[in-house]
Structure 1
């Protein structure tokens, strides 16, 4: 299982950088059973579904009567069907694709009238699919698959929203990065069962831009990008959902010549966030590769990626293996399994101090902001909606 990564750096591979899935990217279903991407060359593009839960991955093409637009968005469901979102004359249409004998079946679901519609990462239940429709002053949240009939408007959030991270296993609490009233971007939690009730989630300082990139419901670990420690320059940090502990910005996740973007958290670490291994995409001038980090280790392990890796795509198994999907001239459908990828990440106290200047050296640290910033309360996570609230049945 993988947590939802919502921010991509290379927009031609994973999305457009604000939580959308699709394009030429690779999207994995919530339970890790299937994945989908746009395959083909040039203008001859078609949806392709990958099956990932068998002994070996295999791909099934889902072509229709005409090639797909390169901006079409795909999202695999846990039952093997693939949701496709297409822009048609100022609106977005949605259909479910599935293999039927030698052909592709298509079930139209309806449309959303909006200029900008973006699919959110797969919902935890594997059945529903949601999308954001950005308007002039507010953003609509739509359930576009899994509802009673056709796309259904489930919430309207004031301001311009991007991102999209699920905070629970039920698909009720959705975190969005919101810019409203001319202020900086702040992550908020939207309760889809309370008509879109909005709760502040990240507020490191009043002026900082605070985005949520990844969340793991098992452990409560949150991965954050914020410019609070260094105004004007965003850094990666981590915190705990519902905690009163401050957000921390480890030095080992700070790089002057590379961009680090988390895309998967090791599942099953119940209430032990510092033991969670996190997979990160590392983008630099030399290309893209994989980084592995966890809070207790306080260092970044860097690993080569397989040739043709869909950069920013992958998932952890509960056994601690990291699976990375790839396709190249020799292997059109591949899944590289890095067994024990988290094993070398032993705590620093056990491994001893790392050499100065090492790529894996660098200790983690608390918020190192100047005194002017520290005057603000740096712990907004106690406002998270999972704290002190009984969820209705």
Structure 2
């Protein structure tokens, strides 16, 4: 069965949870415009950022920590990047630059980087290589940082400095997660290889605890399951039965920060898509079950951020409340489970202590 990527979130949130951005339908119901959501104050509020012309529905937006919003527009082979910001009744636009992509090359923004001052993108060529670009926050417009052999997807930040980026690289018929060092010319090193014949992808990582959320077909060939491991640990990746519900797809979208070197205590928020709709699951590695809660009406599906207090904050928009932030408290932890892996999945990753971040997350 071919791997189907999880659905993209309806809006993106900065790593510190202070700002969010999304592309939404305008009042006429026919055109699109960017919005900036301010989430860090006592009351959330939204600022529309209409440009000089209606946006295309395939434009990408990303919030920065200073309150500006980066928009990625496509015009044939030309990809332009512009910073949007409110200027009284209008929208200011600061052109950052553009990238020319050969025919057939796909360019997309990576998830918001730590610090919130820079934005990155990858461009995948039909020939099977991936270019990494710094598209905002550099000294002089978009900067080509390096080329990676293989077709890369995903994108997970592994540190708080925005230097170490994990990408899922498809090469020689298999997909494995690699670490890309952005300060060393996009030098590549292996991060995850559960078995020689498995497709292994990194879904999410928490730099405080070292918790890794992984999707792999190693325990069940032909079916990709969610599992968890710890950066720097020699223990096997574990695939809990609670993360394999019948007729549902679970996608992690937020991890509780601040749990230094205690990955089992991290609360994880999951988007759950099933026959009955979409709702939210809350889980910890130490728990044997997933707690299921209804999503707030108008939830910007797939968006949310945890505070260190364990409270999950979910942005939503309804006719009555066009900018809301719902709070969901993570349930108390169950008794810790044994450290041994599930009997059905006695498999090991590449020793993660060999990764560039081992010294920061050894357990």
Q: TM-score, normalised by structure 1?
A: 0.86
Q: Deviation at 1:9?
A: 2.9
1:102 match: 89
Structure 1: segments with no counterpart, 5+ residues: 1-6, 15-24, 350-362
Q: Deviations over 1:259-303 (max 9, x none)?
A: 000010001100100000000000001111100000112210111
2:323 match: 333
Q: Deviations over 1:97-139 (max 9, x none)?
A: 0001111000111111123111001110110000001112210
2:114 match: 124
Q: Deviation at 1:256?
A: 2.2
Q: Structure 2 residue aligned with 1:147, among 117, 138, 149?
A: 138
In 1: Cα distance, 2:359 partner to 2:68 partner: 38
- 2:283 matched to 1:308? no
In 2: Cα distance, 1:214 partner to 1:272 partner: 16
1:18 match: none
Q: Deviations over 1:176-197 (max 9, x none)?
A: 00001x2311000001111111
Cα separation, partners in 2 of 1:285 and 1:213, compared to 1, 3 Å: same
In 2: Cα distance, 1:271 partner to 1:63 partner: 44
Q: Structure 1 residue aligned with 2:356, among 385, 389, 392?
A: 385
Q: Structure 2 residue aligned with 1:227, among 208, 213, 217?
A: 217
SS in 1 for 2:207: coil
* Contact kept? 2:191, 2:350, Cα under 8 Å: no
1:20 match: none
* Contact kept? 1:8, 1:312, Cα under 8 Å: no
Q: Deviations over 1:231-273 (max 9, x none)?
A: 0001000001111111000111012210000010001100100
SS in 2 for 1:36: strand
1:36 match: 21
- 2:337 matched to 1:366? no
* Contact kept? 2:71, 2:84, Cα under 8 Å: yes
Cα RMSD of the aligned pairs, angstroms, is 1.8
1:68 match: 55
Q: Structure 1 residue aligned with 2:174, among 163, 166, 184?
A: 184
Q: Deviation at 1:378?
A: 4.1
In 2: Cα distance, 1:169 partner to 1:94 partner: 24
Cα separation, partners in 2 of 1:377 and 1:59, compared to 1, 3 Å: closer
Q: Deviation at 1:380?
A: 3.8
* Contact kept? 1:120, 1:132, Cα under 8 Å: yes
* Contact kept? 1:62, 1:98, Cα under 8 Å: yes
1:52 match: 39
Structure 2: segments with no counterpart, 5+ residues: none
Q: Pairwise mapping of residues 220-299 of structure 1 onto structure 2 (< 5 A)? A: 220-299=210-289
SS in 2 for 1:252: helix
SS in 2 for 1:382: helix
Q: Deviation at 1:382?
A: 3.0
In 1: Cα distance, 2:359 partner to 2:38 partner: 40
SS in 1 for 2:264: helix
In 2: Cα distance, 1:85 partner to 1:303 partner: 34
In 1: Cα distance, 2:44 partner to 2:148 partner: 39
In 2: Cα distance, 1:378 partner to 1:174 partner: 18
Kindly indicate whether structure 1 or structure 2 has the higher relative contact order, using CA contacts under 8 Å at least 6 residues apart.
1
Q: Deviation at 1:43?
A: 2.9
Q: TM-score, normalised by structure 2?
A: 0.92
* Contact kept? 1:83, 1:95, Cα under 8 Å: yes
In 2: Cα distance, 1:126 partner to 1:159 partner: 28
* Contact kept? 1:189, 1:199, Cα under 8 Å: yes
